[in-house]
Structure 1
Amino acid sequence: MLVNEDCKELKEDSEKGNILSRENLILLSSSVILGIAFDILFYGKALGVSYPLFIIAFYTVFLFNAKSKLVKPQMSFEWLLTLPVLALALTYFIFSNEIFQVLNFFAVPLLVIIQTTLLTSNSRYKWYSSGFILDIILGAFARPLVNIAKPFAILSKAASSKLHSTKYRNAGKVLMGLLVSVSLALIVVPLLASADQVFNSFVENIPDFFTGINAGDFIAQVLVVLVACILLFSYILSLIKPEECGLKPSGELGASSPARPLDAIMVITVLCVMNIIYLVFTAIQFSYLFSHSSLPEGFTYSEYARRGFFELLLVTVINLSIVLCNINFTKKSGVRMGNANRILSSLLILCTAVMLLSAHLRMSLYEDAYGYTYLRIFTHAFMVFIFVLLIIALFKIWHERVPLLKAYIITAIAAYVIINYINVDSIVARNNIERYKKSSVIDTMYLTGLSYDAMPYLMGLVYDSKEDISEEMKKYLSYREKELLESRDWQSFNISRYRAERLISKYTLNYDQKETE
């Protein structure tokens, strides 16, 4: 009889299909753990060490569940993406710049989608082709939703199939026994409490355990766990088993060679005319800006810088576009025409580099006159980025085998990580304070709007000899101190905030000692 029951259970298991497979159950269990971790780390908490911890937890679950689908570990783009993902996630632990916190809130998930798609060979297009954008959109919007019903189907199937087995019928009997026990306990416990004062005190203190629980907040957290669990389960499952949800890549669609509609003679003509204009412009730049000669009457250097900067930056972007179009869309011609094209394109790049240098000097003059801001520092960084792109394009002109788009994508990712780590707030604060020492002009209102990353530099202004500036900075410290006291959860721990808190505490201690003396 027992053998027949075991055979019946085995037969039922074989009829369930893959929905109750060991892989699905492990993934669902680990997704529940991830959902709980998401709630603990993020619900009602400011972002801090919680962000990199969750990224590590996600990758642990992903790599464990997808280990059979992963491409071989090697020095390839898909594996090297781990570096920028972790570096950007760690910025929430190291820095406190709100601009980058918002940008990285989208940048990190984007890189995670790209990496997980490539690691599991679920991309239909090469990562350096424009078609890969479709794979990213699929990963961002379709994969988290395509399997949202499957967790409920798994639980429903498990419940309906197991309730008929002997061991689960016994579990039902245990549940009935518990219900009866609870009913009896409601009668017995009050009697025991009346009989013994110590036991009565223990029973009376039990409700205190539940007083801190808010029903609405509890329900909200359950929903957070549920939603996070389902979306993460759906996303990972769609990568592990794309065929079950109709997302299996259909063939390899690589990047096809672009059509080349531009005639070489026409392009060379354009390059000749543009280079003549830019050579004249470059000569003027050397005569006025680089040699510090006197400007035309009615112009100051700050005014000269402000009027020409953005125009130069726009021309630089236009020139880079011309070079890229020439590289990708100009028809192949003879050796002489090819060499002429290369020389003229190289000359265009050199003239563009001079324009970038001119724009950089103009912005520096403007900063000397009006101070340093986020936007102006970011503009300098953008100019450096454009310069690197120009160098890569120049290399491509003389070495056609260089994969231009690959190089640009890698450069863009590296540049974004670097700009996160140069600590823009400190640069802005330090340069403005140095300018203040020379000119006695400073915008304290702007400086007090910087993040905690600038605090080590701003502390110097607290002890400034000018009373109005010193008093304004003391008010700023008082405001920051109250703000720091509001977010003390361990999940929100951040090195930048911790350092600021220590600096403020040290200042407060020294101030109290002086007052005592």
Structure 2
Amino acid sequence: MSGLPTPAPAEAPHGPDPYRAPAAKAPPPFSWLRPSDPGRKASAGPKVIGAAVLTGALTAWMLGDGLGANLLVCAAVATAGAGLAARSAGRRVRVWTVLWSVLALTLLAVPALSEAGWPVALSLVCALALTSLALHGGRRWPGVLLALPGILWQLVPGLRWAREGLRGLSVPGRGRLVPVLKAVLVAAVLLTVFGWLFASADAAMADMLSSLTPSVGVGELPLRLALFVLGVATSLGFAHIAAGPRRWDRTAVKPGRERGRLEWALPLTALNLMFGAFALVQAVVVLGGRDSIMDNTGMSRSEYARQGFWQLTAVTVLTLVVVAVAKRWAPRSTPGDRRLTRILLGALCLLTLVVVASALGRMYYYVDASGLTRLRLWVLVVEVWLGAVFLLLIAAGLTRSAAWLPRAVVLSAAVTAAVYGLMGPDAIVAEQNVSRFEQSRQIDLRNVRDLSLDAVPALDRLPDDRRTCALELMRIELGARPSPWYATSLAESRAREILADRPLPDASPDGRSACDRAGLRGYGQVREY
């Protein structure tokens, strides 16, 4: 047997090995935007689709004339649609869901009270983000931050979801309903075409048709159609989230690689020493009073404020980035490492509060010398919020668990935006400048002429030419603006009453503008809107 040739081993088959586990398939593109639990996603029922269509119709009808209480009306219908979708999916209402929803509705009330453009836009964006967070839920940083813009990724999927729901919808008498809808559509097209032709041919016919049809110009139709589509898509997007939210909290985030103590602690220690030196300088320069600033720097209070406010604001923002990066790379293997992390980062946050206080003090000097403006008030609010964030970071470092920190930071931002919008920034700017004029008889009309209608009650207290110069642009704006009830804010109603009781003079007796007589050169020509 030993002399027989050894048979050659059988060649491996060219096909796949049946005993080897199949290779994992690559996930489809953008699969991370889909609901994490699609089995719980409820279908789009007729009530949800009806709420979306009603939201689109209200959006096309109301929002084309401006913003006001109409936002709350459209939001109420869209919220009802999302609630129906969540109920059909078996979701329960939680405390944070209620809190985010209440804050979103509060922010949507800002356009009904104020006419200031930037606070209204900020309130609208924050309301949409908070609604998305309320429907998604989230506790960790990925869950909270990725849920805020979640509605943007659900606009198109929401429309597809509604189409699938319509396909599976069984309508009693569908065979009789579809011909009726087709007949109504054909009649509408015929009446539109021939009505336009008859109206063009005969004036009496045009008057009769105009009295029977809604007063919407042909030029407004594209805008109204776009608003309808936007309203439907937004309502369906929120309902789609409510029916099957993406669980962003399950997003895996790899921890940063630990650095050695020397490599990590040396830069932070040096930065803490620099912040401490700045704090000592501020204690010497600022706490000495007004004369101390002049003696130590050779500058007036307003010059001292202008010199460093923006730099200190940049320092505050950059420190947040430093804290986040340092926390990710901090050594954490032993209790000593974790204790060192808390000490160095806590000291940096405490010293940053000194920077925040210094920036606020410099802006106070600047406003006291030059008056308040929109930009100065806005950066003051942002600086106060940044100080609140650092206080939250310090509190998180003193507790065993900082799981509450992501939602607390977003909550502080939402409350700040709501307070900023509801307090009427333009009214505050006007009130400060007018009060300053009543005390010093000095006012820079450039700070108040471009304010919104919120400023009218305060500016109405100015005398003669200064009042006319400050209010003439607002009078033109009121004259060119339609005022349906749903697009009229409280500030606009108050401004109309004031200017109706005390109208501005139409012409100047000497041919000069009120701004020229008030000492504001270059503002004699008023641009018509």
TM range (shorter): 0.7 to 0.9
Cα 1:79/1:275, change in 2 over 3 Å: same
CA–CA distance in structure 1, aligned partners of residues 274 and 207 of structure 2: 87
* Corresponding residue for residue 261 of structure 1: 258
* Corresponding residue for residue 487 of structure 1: 482
The aligned runs of 1:201-350 (5 Å cut-off) are: 209-210=211-212, 216=218, 220=222, 223-224=225-226, 227-228=229-230, 230-232=232-234, 234-235=236-237, 238-239=240-241, 253-254=250-251, 256=253, 258-292=255-289, 293=292, 294-296=294-296, 298-332=298-332, 334-350=334-350
Unpaired runs of at least 5, structure 2: 1-41, 188-204, 507-529
How far the C-alpha of 1:168 sits from its partner, in A, is 6.5
Q: Scaled by the length of structure 1, what TM-score is found?
A: 0.73
Cα 1:139/1:232, change in 2 over 3 Å: closer
Note the aligned Cα RMSD (angstroms).
4.0
* Corresponding residue for residue 359 of structure 1: 359
The aligned runs of 1:129-168 (5 Å cut-off) are: 129-130=141-142, 139-145=151-157, 147-148=159-160, 151=163, 154=166, 162-163=174-175
How far the C-alpha of 1:59 sits from its partner, in A, is 0.9
Contact 1:145-1:231 at 8 Å conserved across structures: no
How far the C-alpha of 1:87 sits from its partner, in A, is 0.7
* Corresponding residue for residue 431 of structure 2: 430
CA–CA distance in structure 2, aligned partners of residues 56 and 313 of structure 1: 39
How far the C-alpha of 1:95 sits from its partner, in A, is 1.1
Stretch moving more, 84-93 or 488-497? 488-497
Contact 1:97-1:452 at 8 Å conserved across structures: yes
For residues 125-179 of structure 1, what are the alpha-carbon distances to aligned partners after superposition, in whole Å with 9 as ceiling and x for unaligned?
Answer: x45333665555553144435535955994899799833xxx669x87xx89xx9
Matched residues, number: 443
The aligned runs of 1:461-472 (5 Å cut-off) are: 461=462, 464=463, 470-472=464-466
CA–CA distance in structure 1, aligned partners of residues 224 and 341 of structure 2: 64
| Secondary structure of 2:115's aligned partner | coil
- Give the partner amino acid of 1:114: L
Cα 1:158/1:223, change in 2 over 3 Å: farther
Contact 1:35-1:224 at 8 Å conserved across structures: no
Contact 1:117-1:139 at 8 Å conserved across structures: no
* Corresponding residue for residue 21 of structure 2: none
Are residue 38 (structure 1) and residue 35 (structure 2) matched?
Answer: no
CA–CA distance in structure 2, aligned partners of residues 265 and 22 of structure 1: 57
How far the C-alpha of 1:357 sits from its partner, in A, is 1.4
How far the C-alpha of 1:107 sits from its partner, in A, is 2.7
How far the C-alpha of 1:476 sits from its partner, in A, is 4.5
* Corresponding residue for residue 128 of structure 2: 109
Which of 474, 481, 499 is the aligned partner of 1:504?
Answer: 499
* Corresponding residue for residue 104 of structure 2: 85
Stretch moving more, 405-414 or 354-363? 405-414
- Give the partner amino acid of 1:66: A
Cα 1:442/1:388, change in 2 over 3 Å: same
How far the C-alpha of 1:62 sits from its partner, in A, is 2.4
Contact 1:144-1:232 at 8 Å conserved across structures: no
* Corresponding residue for residue 60 of structure 1: 80
Q: Scaled by the length of structure 2, what TM-score is found?
A: 0.72
- Give the partner amino acid of 1:67: R
Unpaired runs of at least 5, structure 1: 1-20, 119-125, 180-202, 243-247, 465-469, 512-517
| Secondary structure of 1:262's aligned partner | coil
| Secondary structure of 2:67's aligned partner | coil
CA–CA distance in structure 1, aligned partners of residues 62 and 162 of structure 2: 26
How far the C-alpha of 1:85 sits from its partner, in A, is 0.8
Considering fraction of residues, name the structure with more helix: 1
| Secondary structure of 2:119's aligned partner | helix
| Secondary structure of 1:130's aligned partner | helix
CA–CA distance in structure 1, aligned partners of residues 73 and 397 of structure 2: 44
Contact 1:312-1:355 at 8 Å conserved across structures: yes
- Give the partner amino acid of 2:52: S
The aligned runs of 1:410-421 (5 Å cut-off) are: 410-421=411-422
- Give the partner amino acid of 1:216: V
Contact 2:69-2:486 at 8 Å conserved across structures: yes
